[in-house]
Structures are given as C-alpha cells and as structure tokens.
Amino acid sequence: MSRYALALDLGSTSARAVLVGADGEIAAEARRPTEPLFPHRGWVELDPWQLWGALRDSLAEALDHAGATTDDIAGAGVTTSRETCLLWDRATGEPVHHAIMWLSKQTDPIVERWRAEGLDPVFRERTGLFNDSFFSAAKAAWLLETVPGARDRALAGELAFGTLDSWLIWNLTGGRCHATDPSEASRTALFSLADLAWDEELCAATGVPMSVLPDVRPSDGHFDEVRPRDLALPGTAPFPLSAVMGDQMAGMFGQGCLAPGTVKNTYGTAGVVTANTGRQPAVLDGLTASVGWTLEGRTDYEAEGVVFHCGQTLQWLREKLGVLGPGERVEDVAGRVPDTDGVYVVPAFAGICAPHWVREASAAIVGLTLESGREHVVRAGLESLAYQTRDVVEAFQAGGVAVPQLRVDGGAVANELLCQFQADILGVPVLRPRLLEQTALGVAHVAGVAGGLWKLGDLAERWAADRVFEPRMSADRRDGLYAGWTTAVRTVTGTAS
C-alpha cells in the first residue's frame, strides 16, 4: 500500500521534494538551491535546466532519505512560484530562452505600450490583475517578440508556453502533458475569472497565440504520471501527478484557510497576504483577485496582496549591506535596541507592489541620524516586513474584508520578534503553526486526497496554531509608528507632500 504523498515545490530560490506520511507529518525532504541570473539591469532570469535538475535531484534524495521507492507514492503535487514563465520547443523540450522571473522588469516597455492602447481596464475587469510586468502576459509577449523566429514557430504549433508548473509537468511526464491548473493560470493576466478559461480577446490583444498555452485542469485533476525509469528513480510503479497549485494558494490550503474570510501571510522571498473570498472573486483596490483552487468540482477564489521584498530584504541586509556578521541572527541584532529610533527601511528594490503599485520606486533608508547604528537598520529592515503586511491588510479592510487574525508561515516567522511586532502593528493576533513551511504541505494534502490517504473535508481540522502572538502595543503607539512608515513610503513613491 502506498505510504506517502509527494510535494514538488519549486520556489524563487530553491527546489524541494517533500514526502508526507499518512499521519500528515513530513517523513523526508530534500532541497537544492536555484540561482537567479541578472543579464541586464532590472532583468532577472532563471536557467530552466538548472531548475529541472535541482527538482529532479531533490526528488531522488528525498526518496533515499525515506528509504522509499516510487511504489510508495500515492500521488504527487506540483507547486511553484506563479509568475515566472518560459517558452520551449514541443519536440525537443529545449527552452528558447531563459525563464523570466516574476520580479524582472524587462517587459516594462510592453506594459507601457498596452497601457497606451487602453488595455489597463481590460486586464483588471477580466483577469482581476493589473497590466504590470509582474504577471506572465507581458513575459510571453516579450519572448514571442524578442527571440528570433519565436512567433512564427509558435503560430506553426512548434512551441509551448507555461509557468514553472507546466515546465515541471512537461519534464516529469516526458513531454506527454502540457497543462496547468486554474490557480496558476489565473496569475498570467490571460485567464478569464468569469469563464475559468483562457481569454480569447486578451490573447489576441497581447499577441499570445492560444495554441501555445497549456490545458487548464482542476487543481485535483489528472496530470498524467511519473514513470520511474524516465527519471532513473528507484521503483517499478509509476505514480500519478494529481495536484497542481500556485505556491500561495497551496500555502493558503496548507494553513487551513478553506473557509471564506480566513487570511494567511507567507513570508518567503516575497511576502504574500491572501484571503479566501469563497465562490466569487473580490476585486479590491490595490489588490488582485485570483482562483484559489478548483477541488472536487468547486472553485474558491482569493484576494491577494504581494510584497515584492520580504525575506529577500533580510538577505540584502546580510549579503549586500553587510550589517550582519558571520553567524549573526537578524533577531538577535535587531533585539539589541528597543525600537528603530525613527529609522525605516523601504525595500522597493524592484518598485513597490500591492497595494501601491509604483514600479518605478527605489529602495531607501529613511530617518538616519548620527545616533543610528546597524542595530537600528537591521531592526528597521525586519519591521518593514510587518509594515508592508499592514499596508495590504488595510486594503483588505477598506474593501470590506475583515482580518480578525492572521495566520503566518514561511521561514522568517521563526523570528519571534517579527511575529510579535506583526501582531503589534496590526492590532490582531498572529497565529503561527508548528510547521513553518506550509506550501509543500498544502499541495501534498491535495495529492494525498486523490491518492486515497485522506478526505478533503478532514484537512481543515488538522491545522492548529503552535503559538499565538497577541498584540501588546497601545493604539497610539501603533498608529504613530505606522504613520512614520507611510511617510517613508511616500518619499520613494514620489507622493510626499
């Protein structure tokens, strides 16, 4: 009898394979780093073959750690960062260019051209997204317009386009399956939320042939199978690919946000606040609306705010600014001072995303004095994660979505100073689960349902908070600090009075 559900998780900085046992606990996992490429200022790309190799090696290592074979896998799920995409040859599987990463700005001229053509409201009304280089539509157009011969080959049916999940599925199945799910498709800006299908008129307006796009199947659909001999894996039996979800949707599912009104924040490379809005999309000012998942024939939607630079801000403090010494923890250095003494770090390294959407903004450290030390800067960088989260929560609340509590996950929430400050600056409890990485668990749970390990209705009850951080800060103090943050943000967005 199969013992595990498998999650294959390809994020911005690593590829993971996670085996989850029938008890819902992680039995084994393995991870490989992935390295972004910076061919020009503002461009961020990834080598597709490096991504695939990292994922394949992680899978083999996870099986080895568990002493398992493919015969032990009941079902597998794929989850990826959603707006990174690429174009490849259907016959050979060879990419025509590197994958363009979600935060890359090389497509800005295309976005501006579409804006001049009046497409902004069309994107917003039909897809719940914005005409922005963050999303995949402009990346697809850039590849088709820039790579020599790409458009002619696409029109001839020779090329396939997809986000990272489609690329992994293609390789995992030996090129037999070119597919995605509604959650991933809904982040391309080519997918109609009303019809739950590719939007013909938008594809025509953007010059993206529908023939290059993947099939859209339910999140718990059948995405072919993985044959062990194709990947030199131990075992004789193939296992089904039975779940696909965008990383933030998988994290929301893993966090038990299955009921309308439940809200989570994942602190990863980026930070993403998502709220389950139930059976109807909710398009809120400054935020995006997307499909959460389609499971057992039911589609749930989510409202979302993305903060571009979350964990990446802490990495920048260490690797670029050099304010952390070898082995020093952010929490320890930041905790040496009671507050930032008026210093704010606004990490707009690739502009500011939700809810401001000012992509031309640049990062800044605001409020420095002769008394400011590295501890104040480190603390300000850490607190920026919480301030940006409040920006998004304010947009939720302005749109009528209450946030009585916030469930958090991601590696950064091991930092208790961050969790407490997040509760303080929001004025609501912050709930942290025992397992901090919920993305892989979420898609593994869906795959396990398809494989008969669990029932979908039982999964929400599995989630429990390991610790609840209650707000301790006075309302006056909270509002004063946040007012300072909003002033700092205005200095980089050009809206300061």
* Two domains, one topology: 4-246 and 256-437+464-497: yes
The mean pLDDT value for 69-79 works out to: 96
CATH superfamily, domain at 4-246: ATPase, nucleotide binding domain (3.30.420.40)
CA–CA distance, 473 with 493 (Å, rounded to integer): 28
In this predicted structure, what is the pLDDT of residue 1?
63
Q: Give percent above pLDDT 90 in the chain.
A: 85
pLDDT digits (tens, 9 = 90+) for 167-185: 999 999 999 999 999 999 9
Q: Where are the domains of the chain?
A: 4-246, 256-437+464-497
- DSSP assignment string, 45-106: EE-HHHHHHHHHHHHHHHHHHHT--GGGEEEEEEEE-SS-EEEEETTT--BSSPEEPTT--T
Check pLDDT > 90 for residue 144.
Answer: yes
Cα–chain-centroid distance for residue 314? 18
Residue 67 carries which side chain, given as an amino acid letter?
G
3-state secondary structure of 210: helix
The mean pLDDT value for 241-247 works out to: 96
In this predicted structure, what is the pLDDT of residue 23?
87
Q: Give percent above pLDDT 70 in the chain.
A: 99
Answer for the pair 449, 455: CB distance below 8 angstroms, yes or no.
Answer: yes
The mean pLDDT value for 88-100 works out to: 96
Check pLDDT > 60 for residue 411.
Answer: yes
pLDDT digits (tens, 9 = 90+) for 185-216: 999 999 999 999 999 999 999 999 999 999 99
Read off the pLDDT band of 450 (50, 70, 90): confident
The mean pLDDT value for 265-289 works out to: 92
Which has the minimum average pLDDT: 103-107, 426-430, 437-441?
Answer: 437-441
Give, in order, the Cα–Cα distances in Å from 187 to each of 184, 290, 294.
6, 7, 15
Check pLDDT > 50 for residue 66.
Answer: yes
The mean pLDDT value for 17-28 works out to: 92
Check pLDDT > 70 for residue 64.
Answer: yes
How, if at all, do strands 191-192 and 225-226 pair? unpaired
In this predicted structure, what is the pLDDT of residue 24?
86
How many other CB atoms are there within 10 angstroms of residue 200's CB atom?
Answer: 12
Check pLDDT > 50 for residue 54.
Answer: yes
In this predicted structure, what is the pLDDT of residue 312?
87
The mean pLDDT value for 62-76 works out to: 96
Query: Which CATH number describes the domain made up of 256-437+464-497?
Result: 3.30.420.40
Read off the pLDDT band of 496 (50, 70, 90): low
Check pLDDT > 80 for residue 497.
Answer: no
Q: Within the chain, what is the greatest distance between any pair of CA atoms?
A: 68
Check pLDDT > 60 for residue 393.
Answer: yes
